[in-house]
Structure 1
Amino acid sequence: MAEVETAGKTGAEREGNGAKATANEGPRATEQAELEVRNPATGEVIARVPQVDSQRLHEMVERARAAQPAWEALGFEGRGRLLRALQQWILRNDTRIADTIVAENGKAFEDALLAEVGYAAQALAFWAKRAPKYLADEKVRSNSPFVFGRKMLVRYAPVGLVGVIGPWNYPLTNNFGDCIPALAAGNAVILKPASLTPLTSLLLAEGAREVGFPEDVFQVAVMPGSLAGELIDAADYVMFTGSTEVGRKVMERAARTLTPVGLELGGKDPMIVLADADLERAANAAVHYSMQNTGQTCISIERVYVEEPVYDEFVRLVVEKVQNLRVGKPGGPGAVDVGAMTSPDQLELVERHVRDAVEKGARVLTGGKRREGEGLFFEPTVLVDVNHSMLCMREETFGPTLPIMKVRDVEEAIRLANDSPYGLQASVWTKDTAKGARIARQVQSGVCCVNDAMVNYMALELPMGGWKASGLGSRHGADGIRKYTKKQSILITRFAPKRDLHMFPYRQRTTRLLERLLKLLYGRRARR
């Protein structure tokens, strides 16, 4: 999440994905304008990265704009070759990239390899292949007699310069991953990664240079969040991922220059478990999709509603599985299940949500506190006897917690699932998939899975975006690349008289003729 200077604000704004975090979190700029990057699992400094100041940022913008026309001129085929070359570079360097993500973010190796490196490899091939189809000229037909015989089409042109402001929870997927379709569409891109996790973005920039990307087409600007506003001012489109609070500030800043924005914001994603669900699968999914990436995923399961007849058994299964999770410093494959949290302030927020729940009557069945010793670790936690007066059921927790609530029936579950300002993702669990689909249509979220969760993100053909306060626009699908373009409508007249009937000079006889024509075309009653 980026800090964004806005009118009437002084000092630094907040930074972090989904967190109520202040600018005091994480690495700080030194007198030499460097950022210290720390490993959240150990606290050790793993890198010092030069920062971009205002002057440097504007120089980057100028170079990006100078480089963009030649990049666009390469066409889909030329850009696609380079995207596929970068895909192969990523696959050759998969362990190196995953290790970098683990070191700066603290997540388990599998989370880095599968949800990040795997996503990028898939996305590069996907957009290289689909960009020509999604952005091809579209022929338009009209029923209007006034354009009879004309050729009409819609063209998708790149906006020019795209600014991507990324979060710290997915240093590759939600940072460089958003740059891929923007580049495929023919834009130059400047990526501002979160200050906590800049190393992965810099590594991808290295890969782009090695495979032959033109200079300055893709640049990474490591800079304080207070400069994000200047990137918004300079860009022709801004893609932002983070909290709803900061997303509003991004929109406010973009409004000054009428810059279009795409926003993927906070989520409080509900899981509805019906009495006829496969409880073993539902429990496995509840544990994995709430604890994966240490719960720091905007589309993770954040609250569960279980029908009364199966509530006790479901809770028993979940607690048993959570207690078996291995928590600790990430190592190689299979070392741990749940790694460290990335942000100190986010860890404090999770503690606050759990404490608030307990004070209001909730019970902790397992976990419930941070781990002593080095690193930012919070025990995987299951909460029961929860209700909507508690922060853990209303605000985005963004940590390894799973509050479970008993409901009388599916109607109550739907009502509670929709009782939220957020609407990013949801899931329904039942053996009756037809019933599940009907319930999914009643849930107020941009995505709703039946007997699954989160895997929709890997279906790049399927749009993914939030309702309500969870965002604006979508990733993936045709809209996931068309948002980085501007439409141009083209009408071509090949054969026509010297003067059309409706042109000057106006004559009574001609006007009456046109009037009768309008009545003939549109005056009859519509057929039932």
Structure 2
Amino acid sequence: MKYTTSADRLVVVNPATGAEFGSAPIMSAEEVAELAARGRVAQRKWEALGFDGRAVVLRRMQSWLADHANELIDVVQQETGRIFEDTALEIGYPLAALGFWADHAGKYLRDKRIPATSPLLLGKRLRSRYLPHGLVGVIAPWNFPITIGFGDSIPALAAGNAVILKPSEITPLSIEIVRRGLLECGMPPDVFQVATGAGPTGAALVDVADMIMFTGSTATGRKIGVRAAERLIPCSLELGGKDPMIVLADANIERAVNLTVYGAMVNSGQVCLSTERVYVEAPVYDEFVAKIVEKVSALRQGAPVAPGAVDVGAIISPAQIDIIDSQVKDAVAKGATVLTGGEQLTGVPGRFYRPTVLVDVDHTMSCMIDETFGPLIPIMKVDSAEQAIALANDCRYGLAATIVTRDRAKGAALARKIEAGSVSVNDIVTHCFALDLPMGGVKTSGIGTRHSEDGIRKFCKKQAILVGRSFPNRDLHMYPTNPKVSPILLKSLQALYGTAGKLANLGPRALLASRKVPEPAEEH
């Protein structure tokens, strides 16, 4: 990222060409606070529209986004240096999400009647409800400014919140097109606002929002989590990943290779769900490696001048190239072998790192334990599925993983043993589009999930309402205490919950079963 000398604007540079093509303001903490004040006022009107009213705006936006996709794709490509096909997929996510949350927000958030299960609650009516937090701050990364930045905003908006989105300082321009579209589709002004800037702007947003949704590095996520805890506001964090792929001996090798190459090279490997390390059972290792090298060596790399022109685009920044190159050099110094790639592409104006395949790797090497975010495939031979699972779990991250096997039942059973929030069998990256399925990380890959019920309920506070339907002057447990009544209260509780009370309602078989300690359930 580059800044002007006056330090009041962000200058955006196309990583594939090195050309400057736009700028955005660097907002101060005072300006962010002003956005927050306006957002809180606008949020009340937006919430008052109800689920159906908000859904109308979201569905309009779905059509608007489809109609303006070419304009948005062009700006995203300029910001990221990404190929056309990867960018088209990024637009596909919010198109699906706008319809999904328009249809499902009310289903997940409407008031719910809760049955009373305790005799102590006879005559009481119980309800739970979800209320929007109010002002949600979304802090988005550079690798998917629309899929993640706007994608995380959609359920927050559908729940009735106002949103301030802080895009990455590297990709601050494309989201302005989205903001314009929402206004044209009837969203009240100031319900969705954009705060452009660098780290201090994001910190200012954490200080004024009622809830924070952050996607980015684990280091920054820790800082946001600490500040959110100090303010006693909720946060949801999707952080780093080092996603493993396990290729079993019975796998369809051609599919396994295609999954690996796409999973590692999509968006030049700059995806949180990228395949960043591969474990292959020995009987198919040589065949797998040979096919990987053949396909990776044939990938076309360069500036994406037209759809279908290249396969792999640019690396976002010099700092990211340094990370990739240092991991490759560390691996080679410790005994790894580069089969293809292994260096920065030179003689071109943009920033590119050649798609790279490493073998003879192990867990002493940074490329197998630290997040890469680049077009790098380190491959390790294993003796068994059990060894592969142990190595996959030997990592501080736990975002996603993939298993490739013809035996779907075996694949599903092994998936349950992997310490990751999302596991795919014979598939890759598709979790992003499974909006009915929770998606999140474990370990240092974050807290909270996207999608499904939890993906919108996290943007709400929960309220419980209990209504008494009868009105005696005084309940038995109220003051003044009574020496005759108080023992009756205790005896009633003992009768309800003690052994004698429970066994009185059991038949002979149930009585015998109640005395046995249950065996642990088998895994399926």
Bin the TM-score by the shorter chain.
Answer: over 0.9
Deviation at 1:226, TM superposition (A): 1.6
Q: Distance in 1 between matches of 2:306 and 2:94?
A: 20
Task: From 468, 472, 476, give the equivalent of 2:443.
Answer: 468
Instruction: Report SS of the residue matched to 2:197.
Output: coil
Runs of 5+ consecutive residues of structure 2 not aligned to the other structure: 503-510, 515-524
Deviates most, 387-396 or 316-325: 316-325
Q: Distance in 2 between matches of 1:41 and 1:420?
A: 33
Are 2:193 and 1:219 equivalent residues in the alignment? Answer: yes
What is the aligned partner in structure 2 of residue 14 from structure 1?
A: none
Are 2:73 and 1:98 equivalent residues in the alignment? Answer: yes
Are 2:441 and 1:459 equivalent residues in the alignment? Answer: no
Deviation at 1:33, TM superposition (A): 1.3
Task: From 138, 159, 164, give the equivalent of 2:112.
Answer: 138
Q: Distance in 2 between matches of 1:266 and 1:272?
A: 20
Q: Distance in 2 between matches of 1:519 and 1:234?
A: 50
2:280–2:380 Cα contact (<8 Å) kept: yes
Deviation at 1:359, TM superposition (A): 0.7
Deviates most, 78-87 or 497-506: 497-506
Cα shift readout 1:368-421 (whole Å, capped 9, x = no counterpart): 111002101010001000000000000000000000000011111011000000
Are 2:319 and 1:345 equivalent residues in the alignment? Answer: yes
What is the aligned partner in structure 1 of residue 409 from structure 2?
A: 434
Q: Residues 417 and 457 of structure 1: is their aligned pair in 2 closer, same or farther, counting only changes over 3 Å?
A: same
1:271–1:428 Cα contact (<8 Å) kept: yes
1:27–1:195 Cα contact (<8 Å) kept: no
Code of the residue aligned with 1:263 in structure 2: it is L
Are 2:226 and 1:238 equivalent residues in the alignment? Answer: no
Code of the residue aligned with 1:292 in structure 2: it is V
Instruction: Report SS of the residue matched to 2:3.
Output: coil
Q: Distance in 1 between matches of 2:44 and 2:381?
A: 58
Cα shift readout 1:122-171 (whole Å, capped 9, x = no counterpart): 00010011000010112212322121121101100000000000000001
Give the fraction of aligned pairs with identical amino acids, expressed as a percent. 53
What is the aligned partner in structure 2 of residue 108 from structure 1?
A: 83
1:67–1:214 Cα contact (<8 Å) kept: yes
Instruction: Report SS of the residue matched to 1:492.
Output: strand
Are 2:472 and 1:494 equivalent residues in the alignment? Answer: no
Q: Distance in 2 between matches of 1:160 and 1:134?
A: 18
1:42–1:329 Cα contact (<8 Å) kept: yes
Q: Residues 134 and 29 of structure 1: is their aligned pair in 2 closer, same or farther, counting only changes over 3 Å?
A: farther
Task: From 237, 256, 268, give the equivalent of 1:263.
Answer: 237
Task: From 385, 393, 397, give the equivalent of 2:368.
Answer: 393
Task: From 23, 30, 53, give the equivalent of 1:48.
Answer: 23
Deviation at 1:256, TM superposition (A): 2.0
Are 2:263 and 1:289 equivalent residues in the alignment? Answer: yes
Instruction: Report SS of the residue matched to 2:499.
Output: coil
Code of the residue aligned with 1:245 in structure 2: it is A
- Report how many aligned residue pairs link the two structures: 502
Instruction: Report SS of the residue matched to 1:478.
Output: helix
Q: Distance in 2 between matches of 1:32 and 1:295?
A: 31
2:214–2:238 Cα contact (<8 Å) kept: yes
Cα shift readout 1:406-452 (whole Å, capped 9, x = no counterpart): 00111110110000000000011111111111100000000111111
The RMSD of aligned alpha carbons is 1.1
Q: Distance in 1 between matches of 2:292 and 2:442?
A: 29
Q: Distance in 2 between matches of 1:363 and 1:257?
A: 49
Code of the residue aligned with 2:14 in structure 1: it is N
Q: Distance in 2 between matches of 1:158 and 1:28?
A: 37
1:269–1:426 Cα contact (<8 Å) kept: yes
What is the aligned partner in structure 2 of residue 299 from structure 1?
A: 273
Q: Distance in 2 between matches of 1:376 and 1:149?
A: 69
Cα shift readout 1:458-490 (whole Å, capped 9, x = no counterpart): 010100000100000000110000000000000
Code of the residue aligned with 1:135 in structure 2: it is L
Cα shift readout 1:202-246 (whole Å, capped 9, x = no counterpart): 111111112121010000011121222111010000000001111
2:26–2:201 Cα contact (<8 Å) kept: no
Q: Distance in 1 between matches of 2:331 and 2:258?
A: 24
Q: Distance in 2 between matches of 1:495 and 1:332?
A: 72
Are 2:162 and 1:188 equivalent residues in the alignment? Answer: yes
Pairs within 5 Å for 1:69-88: 69-88=44-63
Runs of 5+ consecutive residues of structure 1 not aligned to the other structure: 1-25
Q: Distance in 1 between matches of 2:238 and 2:5?
A: 31
Are 2:193 and 1:197 equivalent residues in the alignment? Answer: no
What is the aligned partner in structure 2 of residue 3 from structure 1?
A: none
Instruction: Report SS of the residue matched to 1:272.
Output: strand
1:266–1:298 Cα contact (<8 Å) kept: yes
Q: Distance in 1 between matches of 2:45 and 2:306?
A: 42
If the length of structure 1 is used for normalisation, what is the TM-score? 0.94
Higher radius of gyration, 1 or 2:
2
Code of the residue aligned with 2:281 in structure 1: it is E
2:27–2:201 Cα contact (<8 Å) kept: no
Q: Distance in 1 between matches of 2:126 and 2:268?
A: 51
What is the aligned partner in structure 2 of residue 363 from structure 1?
A: 337
Instruction: Report SS of the residue matched to 1:488.
Output: strand
Deviates most, 72-81 or 487-496: 487-496
Code of the residue aligned with 2:383 in structure 1: it is R
Deviation at 1:507, TM superposition (A): 0.7
2:263–2:275 Cα contact (<8 Å) kept: yes
1:157–1:486 Cα contact (<8 Å) kept: yes
Deviates most, 511-520 or 382-391: 511-520
Deviation at 1:302, TM superposition (A): 0.4
Task: From 35, 38, 47, give the equivalent of 1:63.
Answer: 38
Q: Distance in 1 between matches of 2:304 and 2:293?
A: 23
Deviation at 1:494, TM superposition (A): 1.6
Instruction: Report SS of the residue matched to 1:427.
Output: strand
What is the aligned partner in structure 2 of residue 277 from structure 1?
A: 251
2:195–2:201 Cα contact (<8 Å) kept: no
Instruction: Report SS of the residue matched to 1:276.
Output: coil
What is the aligned partner in structure 2 of residue 18 from structure 1?
A: none
If the length of structure 2 is used for normalisation, what is the TM-score? 0.94
Deviation at 1:69, TM superposition (A): 0.6
Deviation at 1:334, TM superposition (A): 1.1
